[in-house]
Structure 1
């Protein structure tokens, strides 16, 4: 299989193994860091759920630090859980409801030690937790209309959930149009890996799409370790690959982080708390020129030939993709 076939498999939520090791490992501390859930690594799972009236589910916090405030059902992943299992457990414990997850809405990365995964889901059963059923997880659960949210902003634990709720609403409104539905795939990883799909897109061209590949016995999508020391860890790993492949510097204007194409994680065994994030990066050029020449013999450009894959990538560059915040 080549890079195009690997990318199609990722978009179909299939496991694509890391081939021939991590390509860029510039930070020695990143190589030594082995993530352990709730020890050295904090994965947070949250879910946006709407009822048939379009009201969003919130829970009232029981923790002393934010007692009585309202928030999305969310919490830290437990050791031995997959990300999906953790998100569904938090809804069950904090709201009393069962749910299925439809898609990942976004990933937020504050540092290499903290990642939050927010899902959109559908309620499938259970009973809404009442004040009489309050416990250490939450005091109660309640559905909020748009008007309720506006009037209750001062009682929210944090206003950051408003953007997540809005992402959920926009997804539902656009569900009939092409989009990149995506859920995590169960696959073991020891380290924090960023697999970067880098495409060359001239702003003046709607014709060819070129995909950067790392040469090997089987050409593959380039990978880098998520940087151990930098808060902007995802961007750092992208530029590490670009520096490895090109002499020329690319400005922040020309390098556009489009979003997430795939997630691989298992977390159910020893040294399996790592993760592989596959993201899409577009090199937006101002002129209708061929892709910039690689200055390293380790890389080459491949032209995307499959029409359906080209369409998916076009849609992704226009915002129809899971955002990376």
Structure 2
């Protein structure tokens, strides 16, 4: 069974989805609610919650495209609430639509240009039921929308050098633009590999953990493995009414107890997204590392530490430095 874990690590680091099923969830929303109720607190989300696109869960895509002159592709809004203001090409994912198709559609509708998606540069969440997937790539065709072609999607599109000269719909896109500039300008240095969402049927919202730690006596790297059913990487259901920090903290406490040792979430290794076939769910794989050695981190639940092969240990070690994973940011 250790071969299964090693293969899982390889798949994740390659940005591929895992061929596992929803019944591998170690900490369901129902179990989270039971833990809350045992302390006399009313749960904030129903145990029967099901993500339904544009109804009970909101997925947003946004594109940050930069040309050879270091200009940003921007659109002028036509919506009455922000008419005339500028923003990145962005919009809601439609039912039965995957994320890559969604971002290409939004770019075409709002700018007149065809986009080839290359990688995620950031994922944001405002709660466990609102997510924004920010991608970059290349323009491969089309004709830039002019003011004469204004419609309900946008008034026009333009390549902009100095964003600060525009009246923006919101300044929340400034960190996205800066992140993309940094990525484009520093790819020769240590930055994450290209990573696009994989299509995988998911009926719920999930957070999977690749939790690594070193054993002091051997200096070998280990990853946390659940043995509640078949051996697999730990996975929990995301609470739709809480942010991901809250979900992660509760899951870590479930595994390691209230006095969980110092650890660090680094970022995403993979994103699996349903496109309506089998559900409207998503699964994020988050890399987490412990600072203390394995000997000082007791486990509370039905989990074990698995010693990695040296090759996979080296691969995970290469993802621990800054900028080597996709940022998962909680927006307040």
Give the TM-score normalised by the residue count of structure 2. Answer: 0.87
Deviation at 1:241, TM superposition (A): 2.7
Deviation at 1:316, TM superposition (A): 3.1
Per the alignment, residue 287 of structure 2 pairs with 280
Per the alignment, residue 321 of structure 1 pairs with 325
In structure 1, C-alpha distance between the alignment counterparts of 2:327 and 2:98, rounded to whole Å: 21
3-state DSSP of counterpart to 1:315: coil
3-state DSSP of counterpart to 1:27: helix
The question of 1:150 aligning with 2:164 is answered yes
Match of 1:209 among 212, 221, 236: 221
Task: Tell me the alpha carbon deviations over residues 153-202 of structure 1, each in whole angstroms, 9 at most, x when there is no partner.
Answer: xx011111111011111111222245232110011000001111112269
3-state DSSP of counterpart to 1:182: coil
Task: Tell me the alpha carbon deviations over residues 250-307 of structure 1, each in whole angstroms, 9 at most, x when there is no partner.
Answer: 36xx2322111111112233x511111111112223xx663513233x1111122243
List gaps (5 residues or longer) in structure 2: 34-44
In structure 2, C-alpha distance between the alignment counterparts of 1:135 and 1:321, rounded to whole Å: 38
The question of 1:170 aligning with 2:174 is answered no
Per the alignment, residue 266 of structure 1 pairs with 274
3-state DSSP of counterpart to 1:2: helix
Per the alignment, residue 40 of structure 2 pairs with none
Match of 1:2 among 1, 4, 9: 4
The question of 1:129 aligning with 2:145 is answered yes
Contact 1:8 1:309 in 2 (8 A): no
The question of 1:27 aligning with 2:32 is answered yes
Per the alignment, residue 302 of structure 1 pairs with 306
In structure 2, C-alpha distance between the alignment counterparts of 1:30 and 1:191, rounded to whole Å: 13
The question of 1:228 aligning with 2:240 is answered yes
Poorly superposed stretches of 4+, deviation over 4 Å: 204-207
3-state DSSP of counterpart to 1:238: helix
Deviation at 1:315, TM superposition (A): 3.1
Task: Tell me the alpha carbon deviations over residues 114-162 of structure 1, each in whole angstroms, 9 at most, x when there is no partner.
Answer: 10000011110001100010100000001111xx21333xx01111111
The size of the alignment, in residue pairs, is 312
Task: Tell me the alpha carbon deviations over residues 96-120 of structure 1, each in whole angstroms, 9 at most, x when there is no partner.
Answer: 0001111101110101221000001
